[in-house]
Chains A and B, each alone.
Chain A
């Protein structure tokens, strides 16, 4: 299992694509502060952010043109790209803004990740993240099939995959077909070793969505669980 950072750092990352070639400090980004207000799909689908730090070519010009961070960080929705705000992102400090983490107190709790059950928080409308920035958001696909994924090992009970809990935050195209092709009868290829390497469920469930150390959340009837 990968070591887990403290709750206020879980899902935080530094964007340091140009670090070393530019003098600008790496930009800090915290998922917990953003996911309270926007669903994953807003940034990872509409705005085109990749699922890996530094994989997106975010530039100052693009931001100023209203792309990427600049879609919201424009001085109207929230602070923009003006000089006085540089250090709010470009500070190289992974824990920047952690004093605001206390605002999450009171949300449904879990034992891992941010210690917040984001799924329940959304269901219970304790948080109301925007699902779209667009004036004409795409219609929902009300696909809520729950899959039972048989485990490779005999003593591991199956994993339960609810589509609905995922489509609450994401859209189909976030996972299909790149992460999960829709081939039937194919759980064999997403064994835990590959998930642990950051593939399949591990694309999100190692660093942003609840971590896989929380076995029971996917394998509900697992017994040996701390």
Chain B
């Protein structure tokens, strides 16, 4: 009897929670805020501001795969539990932010240190900047000024930016990435919709593997054994699953319906 009550209560609580998410509009993030992540697992304990990580800068220089597969960052803020000690050993941020690696002709500043002097504190705040008044090396507006425009997200068409050579994201770093022969890329295919008159989705593996390889999505997000074996709905996508793992917060958002639902209805 009691068990019943608990289950009923839980169901009603979760049902309310699900409903509470709809009904009104949320604030749309500004272009420079889109893809921003605040990491604060251990910052406060160390007496530092949380880390403000912006995808826009990193994705212009490195592929998604490099950080989320080779280096092993999770796909949700604070899911990785990045420690200063790990960074100093060359894991996570420390894989590149080690004071030795370069990108182009820029040396990448080292992340985290055990001892700190005044100069170091300044370095800390390059990442631990949430809520602090820190002048960043890169300014979003001038950095993205020449990039092809898009409607939502960062207001940048990252795909076209790469096609036109305006960005050349690095896909492998020495000592961490291991090059394997590429798998053949499937042709674009259509994914049917459940609702009549809704245009089908054109999914392009080619566009996705360019940034993500295979491993970022398969097999965890999409089992990917046989086309159609993973069933999902827009509701789940809006809840952050499947396409929503990236296309709500970092990759172009789902509000850009027609960018996926692009196959004309016959």
A-facing residues in B225-266 (Cβ within 8 Å): 233-235, 238, 253-259, 261-262, 264-265
Total inter-chain residue pairs, C-beta < 8 Å: 84
Q: Is the interface of B mostly helix, strand, loop or mixed?
A: loop
Separation in Å of the A167 CB from the closest CB of chain B? 10
Separation in Å of the B66 CB from the closest CB of chain A? 30
Q: Is the interface of A mostly helix, strand, loop or mixed?
A: loop
Separation in Å of the B18 CB from the closest CB of chain A? 8
B-facing residues in A19-48 (Cβ within 8 Å): 45-46, 48
Q: Considering the chains assembled together, what is the distance between the CA atoms of A48 and B25 in angstroms?
A: 12
B151 within 8 A of A: yes
A-facing residues in B10-27 (Cβ within 8 Å): 18-19, 21-27
Q: Considering the chains assembled together, what is the distance between the CA atoms of A4 and B51 in angstroms?
A: 48
User: Quick check: B24 and A50 within 8 Å, CB to CB?
Assistant: no
User: Quick check: A55 and B197 within 8 Å, CB to CB?
Assistant: no
Interface residue count for B (Cβ, 8 Å)?
33
Contacts A51-B25, A179-B24, A183-B235 hold; do A45 and B151 have CB atoms under 8 A apart? Answer: yes
User: Quick check: B238 and A55 within 8 Å, CB to CB?
Assistant: no
User: Quick check: A55 and B256 within 8 Å, CB to CB?
Assistant: no
Q: Determine which of B24, B198, B254, B255 lies in contact with A199 in the assembled complex, contact meaning CB atoms within 8 Å.
A: B24
Q: Considering the chains assembled together, what is the distance between the CA atoms of A181 and B23 in angstroms?
A: 8
Residues in chain B near residue A154, CB distance under 8 A: none
A190 within 8 A of B: yes
Q: Determine which of A46, A50, A190 lies in contact with B23 in the assembled complex, contact meaning CB atoms within 8 Å.
A: A190
Separation in Å of the B26 CB from the closest CB of chain A? 5
Q: Determine which of B24, B26, B195 lies in contact with A145 in the assembled complex, contact meaning CB atoms within 8 Å.
A: B195
Q: Considering the chains assembled together, what is the distance between the CA atoms of A72 and B25 in angstroms?
A: 24
B-facing residues in A141-191 (Cβ within 8 Å): 141-145, 171-173, 176-183, 189-190
List 16 A-B residue pairs with CB atoms under 8 Å apart, sorted by A's residue number. Answer: A45-B151, A51-B25, A138-B151, A139-B258, A141-B258, A143-B197, A144-B197, A145-B197, A173-B257, A176-B234, A178-B25, A179-B22, A189-B19, A199-B24, A200-B22, A203-B24
Given contacts A51-B25, A177-B234, A181-B235, 11 further A-B contacts (CB under 8 A): A57-B30, A138-B256, A138-B258, A172-B255, A177-B254, A179-B25, A180-B22, A182-B235, A183-B18, A194-B23, A203-B23
